[in-house]
Structure 1
Amino acid sequence: MDVIATKIPDVLLFKPKVFGDERGFFMETFRQSWFEERDIKVNFVQDNHSSSARGVLRGLHYQIKNPQGKLVRVTAGEVFDVAVDLRKSSPTFGQSVGVYLSAENKNIFWVPPGFAHGFLVLSELAEFNYKCTEYYAPEHDRSLLWNDPALKIDWPLGDIKVPVLSAKDQAALSLAQAETFA
């Protein structure tokens, strides 16, 4: 497993070792020691799987109480995945990291608690899988405005004129308006 540092030190990109032959491939998608070796304490309690069509943008989501750490990967298609630091005490508050995740590159992205998370589907269809460190709590769920100029996220929209958003994400708040973490 190769671990790639990002511009925000707490956000990690894992490049798994993939063993393939004419039968297919094998790879590890999670190992506790990946985190222990970096003094990151994780206890995953929930796995989620979503399927989305091209142009769908999910996010930027976070929970204001019981914040979730997420270990995310794509098993079909491709997405542009983003983590935004919402920890006011962090030197990287309001900054983001964006990475391409696909069934082809098999990369795995660690989004720590205290971050908003979202992704844009670039392929015709994408299957998105993630492990969470806290249970989903809809009463604490929040959405940060995906295109807030303060975030400076360079979404690779290409010919996607307007992403497809849920009603919740259409009503999302800007960074200046959003509840954040201490």
Structure 2
Amino acid sequence: MAETLPVSQLGDPVLRDRARPVANIWEQRIQDLIDNLIATVVENNGVGIAAPQVGERDRILVVASRPNLRYPNAPSMEPTAMIDPKIIARSPEVEEDWEGCLSVPGIRGLVGRSRAIEVEYTSRDGHLQRRELTGFIARIFQHEYDHLEGIVFLDRVEDTRNLMTEDEYQKRIVFQN
């Protein structure tokens, strides 16, 4: 049975290390980690999570977009585990939008990300997948992929004036839309 794991917080060295490739996706530890990542992201009202955020150095991320308290306008997507993901191509169009992070609670930042990306990854059942992701789903993937590289979204905020608390974000951004 899946369990909710504690989320590593900014300052934990695991968030600044580059994650390592998964040697054996069939290993029970890896399959359990995927289940636990999904349970953790759902329980914490996130839309994505990466293994380093729960203290694991494996190159695994989960995209689990759906409307919730933190992202009321998020599109729905079945939670999808992506093992050893790669970004194959990026669109030249960059969109700025507000991001938050379970590992950086209480803060939102305006971050520019590629509007569309082509990605490749191995699914939890061992199949190589290649997909184009756009909009909010592409943003989630890029945010979580950064975690696998030891980068947090704050590193991508170009101007500290583009930071705000979660409460201000909810008042000014969410309720204006």
- TM-score category (smaller protein): under 0.3
Higher strand share: 1
> Which of 1 and 2 has higher RCO (CA within 8 Å, sep 6+)?
1
With structure 2 as the length reference, what TM-score do the two structures score? Answer: 0.24
Higher helix share: 2
